[in-house]
Amino acid sequence: MLIPTAYASRKPRAAAESTARPAIVAAAILCSALLGIDLPARAALGAAPETAEAGAPAAPAHLQRRIVAMAQYAMNELTLSSGTVVREYTDRNGVVFAVTWRGPVQPNLQQFLGAVHPRVVQAAAAQNTPRARQLVLNQPDLVVEMHGRMRAFSGLAYLPLQLPSGVSAAEIR
């Protein structure tokens, strides 16, 4: 039996899909960051509020904010109009050392992760798990855990070297 040349040169469907999945995961994270909430963060991970707010407009009225002061840090809780709750953990100098989120919509991660966002996107692209719904990045200077499915996104990112003394990673949840 002869196979027409138009069909003989095609890859099997499963092989073509498996090579495209890491790119799809990376594209999904990038799109979620670009299409995320468009309000300015008070500060990005590893930055002080003053540097993140330079030239940024004031926070919109639909943003709810709550600040809880602890002994070694402050937790700034933002409730976005989408219902997603983002918590920024700041040390005594106002530098964000951790960010967590939970809600129906993924927040704009580029805005909240700041300078470490490209590393997260790169880790997602390198992940070679089909249909991955999570990302775990555990490095000496950066820890990121992201989980998500439709209407249920959560995650955390923190800088282990910048945790205030006496504060454990277990407190960041």
Task: Kindly tell me if the per-residue pLDDT of 172 is higher than 80.
Answer: yes
Residue range 74-93: average pLDDT? 93
When the pLDDT of each residue in the chain is averaged and rounded to a whole number, the result is 76
Task: Give the model's pLDDT for residue 97.
Answer: 97
Task: Give the model's pLDDT for residue 173.
Answer: 82
Task: Give the model's pLDDT for residue 130.
Answer: 65
Q: Give the tens place of pLDDT for each residue, 41-55.
A: 457 999 886 544 443
Task: Report the alpha-carbon distance of residue 82 to residue 38 in Å, rounded.
Answer: 11
Q: Give the tens place of pLDDT for each residue, 14-35.
A: 444 444 444 443 434 433 433 3
User: Poorest-confidence range of 58-67, 98-107, 120-129, 136-145?
Assistant: 58-67
Task: Give the model's pLDDT for residue 132.
Answer: 67
Residue spans per domain, the chain: 11-171
CA angle 107, 112, 116 (to 5 degrees): 120
Task: Kindly tell me if the per-residue pLDDT of 110 is higher than 50.
Answer: yes
